[in-house]
Amino acid sequence: MEELREVIFHFYNICGKLFMWLLMKKIVIFGGGSGLSQLLKGIKLFPVEITAVVSVADNGGSTGLLRRELKIPAVGDITKVMLSMADTNQDVMDLMNYRFTKSKTLGIHSVKNLLLMALMDLKGNFASAMPVMEKLLDVKGNILPLTEDNVNLVGITSSGKKVIGEHQITKCASKIVEVKYDKDIVVNPKVINAVKDADLIIFSSGSLLTSIVPHLIDKKLVDVINKAKGEKVYICNLFTQPCETDGFTVYDHIKYLEKYLGKGSIDVVIANNEDISSDLAIKYRTEEQKDPVVLNMNELRDKDIYVISDKLFTIEDGWYRHDALKTGYLLFSYLMDGRKWRLQLV
């Protein structure tokens, strides 16, 4: 009898997991670097199937050195996203982020970057190395590079000058008005399939020009995104980026995305509506040349865009960060309840 109870228990346990899997919604999140990593820390706590698509054109720091020496796509943002989705202990996290600071040759590189590089050598390519590292870190969800091509971003200034390299674009003192690649890319086929199956397609907070727009340069991918069943959600930044989005409101960010996606492509925007401390606003203005992004409801009143607004920040060590848990909760609630969670403008 005891054995029968155990069999029945395991049967119902398996059925329950299968039932949850069948009900679980699928989301695809486009982004890169810190903005995407911060968002994933929150949304991964909810029962959704996550596919994070990461841009791979970073050419600064450790990633830049590895790219120049080994002629590979950028690994830094990929490994950062892996850690944000990992289900492991703090010792492993600290190890992955460790840098040999006393070494002149290794000091710039984190263990996580070196580990992924070693796996690429062993397995032969990016696509074969990533599942091994995801298993080592017990990553919850799917992480996909946008492309495996070794490409660079090219920024075009308002005067028509070309600025080559993501790092150089972020440091450019001139206004960047357009971003493209230095050659055509082949989009990862798994990204295409994930977008087609997604119940929600999300453009993460993060640098608009160097983290989000790089996903929207390939016209074939844009076409797939626009034809996909999933609604398109943009999570707006808390602050502007110097020489990229100076003076931008929430709606200005949306309009810039729609230069690449097409007019009317964004269905929902999630934006902060809480005032930023005047003291910290001055700190951001003087030290980083950034200003709070303003949510002007009048700009959105006649647009077919629904706004979910709330206090979306926390303060960590004197700096603003997106509230990952609250943003994840708003996304999950909208995903499950749809239009009930839309704050329709009147």
User: pLDDT by residue (tens digit) across 305-330?
Assistant: 999 999 999 888 878 889 999 999 99
CA distance linking residue 65 with residue 284, whole number of Å: 29
Contact 37, 212 (CB under 8 A): no
pLDDT at 200 over 60: yes
pLDDT, tens digit (0-9, with 9 covering 90-100), for 88-127 = 899 989 998 898 887 777 777 888 888 888 898 899 888 8
pLDDT score of 301? 82
Contact 171, 208 (CB under 8 A): no
Q: Identify the CATH homologous superfamily for domain 22-55+185-346.
A: CofD-like domains (3.40.50.10680)
Q: What is the pTM of this model?
A: 0.86
pLDDT score of 342? 45
Kindly tell me the number of DSSP H helices and DSSP E strands found in the chain.
14, 12
Residue 27: pLDDT band with limits 50, 70, 90: very high
Residue 212: pLDDT band with limits 50, 70, 90: very high
Q: What's the mean pLDDT in 147-173?
A: 86
Q: What are the b/e assignments for 96-117, b being 16+ CB within 10 Å?
A: beebeeeeeeeebbbbbbbbbb
pLDDT score of 122? 93
pLDDT at 217 over 90: yes
pLDDT at 18 over 50: no
pLDDT, tens digit (0-9, with 9 covering 90-100), for 52-91 = 999 988 777 777 677 777 777 778 888 899 999 998 899 9
pLDDT, tens digit (0-9, with 9 covering 90-100), for 150-161 = 888 898 888 889
Name the phi and psi angles at 174, rounded to 5.
Answer: -95, 155
The overall average pLDDT reported for the chain is 86
pLDDT, tens digit (0-9, with 9 covering 90-100), for 239-258 = 998 888 999 999 999 999 99
- Domain residue extents for the chain: 22-55+185-346, 59-140, 150-177
Contact 240, 277 (CB under 8 A): no
> Tokens for 47?
């029962």
CA distance linking residue 180 with residue 20, whole number of Å: 41
